[in-house]
Each structure stands twice: as C-alpha cells, then as structure tokens.
Amino acid sequence: MRITSKGQVTIPVRIREKAGLMPNTEVDFVYDGRGIVRLVRAQPKGKTTTRGRRVVEHLRGRGDIAMTTEQIMALTRGG
C-alpha cells in the first residue's frame, strides 16, 4: 500500500467493515512517538450527533396514523 502525493491512503474494504468505518466517519491519527501511527474513530466534539440520530430526531413524532404491530404486519404481507 502506498501513500499518494496528496498524502492519501485507501483503507481496504474488509478493514473498514470490521472497524465500522462508514463514509463520512470522522477519524484521527495518533502517533506514538516510536514510529507507529494508529487510525482511530474521532471522539465527538461538543453537540455533534450522528447522521442516524439526526434522521431519527427529524422523524420523531411525525407519524399520524395509530396502528398496532399486527395491522402493520398485515399491510406488509399484502393482506
């Protein structure tokens, strides 16, 4: 694996999947002073929320039809 002239490296898919690094995940590089560099998920700063959390907050309370789980399942099953 090589670093490009822009300082970029492609993280292999299997590593990204194992680490749960999705597109737009914030990461940091940590240098230990002995030649080892680690890539770590960045800690949220301030009130930063995840995309999923923002979607849930946006949708919360917008449903206007009261249905039971059985009614919803009947709709999804086509009957």
Above 80 in pLDDT, residue 47?
Answer: no
Which H helix or E strand runs over 14? helix 13-19
Would you state the pLDDT for residue 44? 72
Would you state the pLDDT for residue 35? 94
Using one digit for the tens of pLDDT, what is the confidence trace for 1-45?
A: 899 999 999 999 999 999 989 888 889 999 999 999 999 988 877
Task: Enumerate the domain spans of the chain.
Answer: 13-76
Lowest mean pLDDT among 17-26, 59-68, 69-78: 59-68
CA pair distance 52, 20, nearest whole angstrom: 14
Would you state the pLDDT for residue 61? 83
Q: Which residue, among 59, 53, 61, 30, has the nearest Cα to 43 in the 3D structure?
A: 30
Would you state the pLDDT for residue 3? 93
3-state SS, residue 22 = coil
